[in-house]
Structure 1
Amino acid sequence: MIKRSVFLRYFILASSTTAIAAACDRSTEPEADLASAPAVSETPKVFFPLEETWQVVTATGYYPFVQQPQPDKFEGFDVDLLSAVGKVAGVGLNWRRQAFDSLIPTVQAGRAEVAIGAIAITAARAEKVSFSQPYFISGLAIATAADRQGLTSLKALEDRVIAVQLGTAGADAVIDISGSQIKTYSSTLSALEAVAQGSADAALVDWPIVLAAIEAGQISGIQLASRRLTETPFGIVVGNQSETKLAAINQALQQIKASGRYAELYQKWFGIKPQT
């Protein structure tokens, strides 16, 4: 369990695309300024199966983590991952869609046991709820045209035309790049299209969104030109008094990673092996 005394220091990102697009509501999230990896306290060993059912709340729109193609169907990396956790732990999952900014208050109030949906671990949130071990590390990266070389660092973007989505960490970071000409767009997909069409030299965007767009065939002629430049950890949320559930989730995550199932899900949704 992450205690309120732990300060984390990462960028929190909020990006969207058109099919990926409903993520726009995340652009107002508070940015996490976290310096070290989140600490997880010792939790008791849990013996599976638990033979119980958890009420799960999630928010759609941050593709490919959670989406809802049909009223009674959720899918995405987070959905598959938590379903795998439930299978290992021997619990059923009842899914419910809510607005993103209501997820933590709902768990905090005890109206759901678990929340998931690309929820960044921040110090402020850790005062209200408990987070699992990070299951995904997001962050900013540079995207360029597939045939473009050399733009692999923030330094290399100086005096370049850079596309960003309004209200995101990328839009904040580009301000500090010397001589850069900034072009803003309403979605990450639009920023990537500007790069593909030659209207911008590069885009500074969330790397998983780029990979997902390429994997889904929603953008072409684009590549990730850099490694992850910042780090934003995502965690599964439970209530502060839910030590057993937290321990069960962490144990199940460890088993899923050890079995290779985590790598399979990562490859399925992002088209690459897990990033470290």
Structure 2
Amino acid sequence: MKKIVFLLMSVLMLLALAVAGCGGTKEESKEAEPVKLLRVGTEPAFAPFEFQKEGSAEFTGFDMDLIRAIGTKLGYKVEISSMGFDALIPALNSGNIDVAIAGMSITDERKKVIVFSDPYYTSGLIVMVKKDDAAIKSFNDLKGKRIAVQIGTTGANKAAEIPNAQVTAFNDNTAAAMELKNGGADAVINDSPVLKYYLQQGGSADAKIVGEVMNSEDYGIAVKKGNEKLAAEINKALAEMKQNGEYAQLYKTWFGEEKK
């Protein structure tokens, strides 16, 4: 009789353990919440905002650090894709990407088809010529000259205003600068920080900046029209970064000076 009672108690204990074990397994088998993905498009040929170091597949630069930091604040995994500058807005509107960040100036024309975040950088256009060029001293001296620009930029739009100028558009600033270096162009028009960075990285051996910065313009992070919720989230994260000093640190890292 004792053996039977002992056996019954053992069976009951095993059943209790099994039930408890099943409960634990059910709890543990709950699927983890899916990671939110932020699909970012850029044109990595606009140093120091976005570029790839020689031999590296990693996207680096001020914009890249900024969007990754914003993504982290919002709980997103950031996935960055490379594409041509002129393909960014179509990619947004077709839903292939969620965000475009590529030193994109906020313009009335672009605001008709996309939504911009609050400005995150104020830039302007400037002229670069060969180091030994004494004839071109400012934008006003470019009439009838050969101008190299980067396709889809406000610099390209500005060059189109120059009377009788021969304007050639290139996929990136490096190619435009090489056209100047090789004698195929008399000047390059592009964003001031981009041309200054080019000179700092060795371009000053062959080229120089002339004239004053023109057309002060703000850069914004672009999202698809109808996705104002994401734009608002980005604005909130950006404001937090500016308040807590993260933005200032990134700015100093890439531009070597405090944000004014």
* 2:235 paired with 1:250: yes
SS at structure 2 position matched to 1:241: coil
Q: Report Cα offsets for 1:162-211 as digits up to 9, x if no partner.
A: 773157345334438xxxx989897442476489xxx97x7654312221
Note if contact 1:58-1:96 (Cα within 8 Å) is conserved in structure 2. yes
Whole-Å Cα distance in 2 between the matches of residues 107 and 252 of structure 1? 21
Cα deviation, residue 96, structure 1: 1.9
SS at structure 2 position matched to 1:104: helix
Note if contact 2:137-2:211 (Cα within 8 Å) is conserved in structure 1. yes
Tell me: CA distance 1:271–1:185, structure 2 relative to 1, closer, same or farther (3 Å). farther
1:1-276 equivalences under 5 Å are: 52-69=36-53, 72-143=57-128, 154=139, 157=141, 164-165=147-148, 168-169=156-157, 171-175=159-163, 187-190=175-178, 193=181, 204-220=189-205, 224-274=209-259
The runs of 5 or more residues in structure 2 that have no matched partner are: 1-34
The runs of 5 or more residues in structure 1 that have no matched partner are: 1-50
Note if contact 2:160-2:167 (Cα within 8 Å) is conserved in structure 1. no
Cα deviation, residue 224, structure 1: 4.1
- Matched residues, number: 215
Note if contact 2:88-2:100 (Cα within 8 Å) is conserved in structure 1. yes
The TM-score with structure 1 as length reference comes to: 0.61
Whole-Å Cα distance in 2 between the matches of residues 227 and 74 of structure 1? 31
The TM-score with structure 2 as length reference comes to: 0.64
Partner amino acid, structure 1, of 2:117:
S
Partner amino acid, structure 2, of 1:172:
A
The percentage of counterpart residues that share the same residue type is 28
User: Higher relative contact order at CA 8 Å, sep ≥6: structure 1 or structure 2?
Assistant: 1
Q: Report Cα offsets for 1:218-252 as digits up to 9, x if no partner.
A: 33375545442113332111122223211111111
Cα deviation, residue 130, structure 1: 1.1
Higher fraction of helix:
2
Note if contact 1:143-1:222 (Cα within 8 Å) is conserved in structure 2. yes
CA RMSD of aligned residues (A): 3.8
SS at structure 2 position matched to 1:95: strand
